[in-house]
Amino acid sequence: MASVAPREGFIAPPRRPVAGSASSVTARPDETQPLQAPAAWQSQLARAIRDPAELCRRLGLDDAWRPGAEAGHALFEVRVPEAFLARMRPGDPDDPLLRQVLPLGEETAATPGYVADPLAEAEHSPARGLIHKYAGRVLLIASPACAVNCRYCFRRHFPYTENAPSRAQWDATLDTLRRDDTLHEAILSGGDPLAASDRQLGWLVERLDAIPHLRRLRIHTRLPVVIPDRVDDALLGWLAATRLQKVVVLHINHAQEIDQAVIDACARLKNAGVTLLNQSVLLRGVNDSIDAQAALSERLFEAGVLPYYLHVLDPVAGAAHFDVPDDEARELVAGLRKVLPGFLMPTLVREIPGEGSKTPL
Ligand code: SF4
């Protein structure tokens, strides 16, 4: 694949930028390249709902929801693509997809133990855009943008501006990877790494591909779920071009998220040689029942995806209302084990800052 280097590396917008807008995904084109029309998925990103009042109106919610939605939005902005909105039930404030994206007044309450950086990631960032917590693998913040803003996100306060490297900083970050031959896996994260353009991602993956000790490329993403059209020919092109083994870890919390378009997107990824896994978060009011978890695992398998991790909530400020206590989580998983075959069981884990791996509960 031809090398196409962005002039300034990836994107450095203020706070969490707007994916798909002229100021992020399509910004700073290589001046040697003609300007291209945005891909279909980029147009969908640009049209995502970003107004809490519009979100309430589109879902037919009572006006009583508006003040809380506005208050939460002021702390962490609303972002919901139409393709995800279409899977929600109008008029139902308890819809499990809506609950993941609707800001609530509870987000403004300070809760002891809930902090801005619950995983202490700032202490594990040896270079801009790079987080190194676990042996053998390293995480790259490939895009500061997301296609959807999940209210429980443990990076909802992440200083993306400070971690958006310039082109020169990307070169330095890649040098860090080249020098450390204990690294075998590069993980693209964000934000959502697939919010970056395919030109940027192709540039990065080509350089990762050239690091001999790297064996695997892992991508943590929610984009194929919330905008299935993201899995287009351009994406499949740079995936197919790399010698690295490819793993995509999706983030799906509820069976209702998996419609036919998501199943088709998963099939395209599998046909490109990608291993598909899913991680989810145990969320009060979204998926905190045996029935919901069993339905999720069954539906994932129908889409060709294996359940991987079920995370308990990271204690991020603004998300305490999603918490499910550990004892209840263990009880739920014990019940789940009675109704699912072992290969459909996610591992219940907590991420504890400073530990060398996720901690099973
Ligand atoms: S959970 Fe993932 S997709 Fe959702 S806001 Fe956080 S990083 Fe973005």
**What is the total count of domains within the chain?**
2
Claim to verify: residue 81 and residue 128 sit in the same structural domain: no
pLDDT band at 320 (very low <50, low <70, confident <90, very high): very high
Claim to verify: residue 90 and residue 143 sit in the same structural domain: no
pLDDT, position 26: 30
Claim to verify: residue 230 and residue 196 sit in the same structural domain: yes
Q: Which atom of ligand 1 is nearest to the CA of 190?
A: 7
pLDDT, position 16: 53
pLDDT, position 293: 98
Q: Which atom of ligand 1 is nearest to the CA of 251?
A: 2
Distances 180 to 94, 122, 213 between C-alpha atoms, Å: 48, 20, 9
Q: What's the mean per-residue pLDDT of the chain?
A: 88
Closest CA to 89 of 80, 99, 77: 99
Separation of 223 CA from ligand 1 center, angstroms?
9
pLDDT, position 209: 98
The answer to the question of residue 3 being in a domain is no
The answer to the question of residue 29 being in a domain is no
Q: Whose CA is nearest to atom 7 of ligand 1?
A: 191
Residue with the bigger pLDDT between 167 and 38: it is 38
The pTM of this model reads 0.89
Which residues are registered as beta bridge partners of 306? 277
Each residue of 207-223: pLDDT tens digit?
Answer: 999 999 999 999 999 99
3-state DSSP of 147-199: CCCCCCCCCCCCCHHHHCCCHHHHHHHHHHHHHCCCCCEEEEECCCHHHCCHH
Claim to verify: residue 209 and residue 312 sit in the same structural domain: yes
Separation of 188 CA from ligand 1 center, angstroms?
13
The answer to the question of residue 341 being in a domain is yes
Separation of 195 CA from ligand 1 center, angstroms?
11
Question: What is the C-alpha end-to-end distance of the chain, expressed in Å?
Answer: 44
User: 80, 108, 136: which is the final residue of a domain?
Assistant: 108
Claim to verify: residue 184 and residue 284 sit in the same structural domain: yes
The answer to the question of residue 18 being in a domain is no
Domain that holds residue 221: 121-360
323: domain CATH number?
Answer: 3.20.20.70
The answer to the question of residue 7 being in a domain is no
pLDDT band at 9 (very low <50, low <70, confident <90, very high): very low
User: 64, 82, 108: which is the final residue of a domain?
Assistant: 108
